[in-house]
């Protein structure tokens, strides 16, 4: 979801950065590698080394160690990108909010199996709605809004259909992701 959030910021908000199209593509690629590819490979490594039973991590206890590694990695990436020339205050706040959701999700996972998928997609929805209010002109966020609403419904349905989560776990993730993401833009932009 961080990749989608950064794509939304860079391509749907006018003047959100001074990057060229090639620069925007590079940032999107870096965000994808650091927030999806490396964490996904970490989870696969945990599966191959039998640290976790399966990639779906249906057992809450299987989620703890991978989530801890991913949280630490997000913190490292947050620290590394903070002072970069291309990093605008909006992008910095968005990445810190995403990192906050990841860390809180990790903390909750010690006691309860909250839906990280719901936290992610509802976080994107929270960003889109907050950005509409923070930047009332000079943008066209209708497409990201419609896509994020559709993804919220599809992901929630899929998690229930796969018996990966209960409705309460999905609601918990949705509230966490939406509140932190919306609140970060509303309070700090």
The CA distance from 112 to 120, in Å, is 17
Q: Which tokens is 55 given?
A: 């990639």
| pTM reported for the whole predicted model | 0.93
The CA distance from 13 to 115, in Å, is 29
Question: Where do the structural domains in the chain lie, given as residue ranges?
Answer: 2-188
Length of the chain: 189
The CA distance from 6 to 141, in Å, is 13
Per-residue pLDDT of the chain (189 residues; tens, 9 = 90+): 999 999 999 999 988 899 999 999 999 999 999 999 999 999 999 999 999 998 888 888 888 899 999 999 999 999 989 888 889 999 999 999 999 999 999 999 999 999 999 999 999 999 999 999 998 876 889 999 999 999 999 999 999 999 999 999 999 999 999 999 999 999 998
């Amino acid at each position: 979801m961080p990749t989608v959030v950064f794509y939304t910021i860079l391509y749907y908000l006018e003047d959100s950065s001074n990057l060229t199209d090639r620069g925007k593509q590079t940032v999107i690629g870096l965000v994808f590698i650091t927030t999806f590819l490396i964490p996904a490979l970490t989870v696969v490594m945990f599966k191959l080394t039998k640290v976790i039973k399966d990639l779906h991590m249906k057992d809450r206890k299987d989620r703890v160690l991978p989530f801890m590694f991913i949280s630490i990695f997000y913190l490292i990436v947050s620290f590394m990108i903070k002072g970069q020339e291309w990093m605008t205050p909006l992008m910095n706040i968005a990445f810190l909010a995403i990192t906050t959701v990841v860390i809180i999700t990790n903390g909750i996972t010690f006691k309860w199996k909250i839906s990280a998928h719901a936290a992610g997609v509802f976080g994107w929805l929270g960003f889109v709605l907050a950005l509409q209010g923070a930047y009332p002109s000079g943008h066209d966020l209708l497409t990201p809004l419609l896509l994020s609403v559709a993804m919220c419904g599809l992901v929630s349905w899929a998690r229930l259909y796969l018996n990966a989560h209960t409705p309460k776990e999905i609601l918990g993730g949705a509230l966490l992701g939406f509140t932190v993401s919306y609140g970060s833009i509303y309070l700090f932009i």
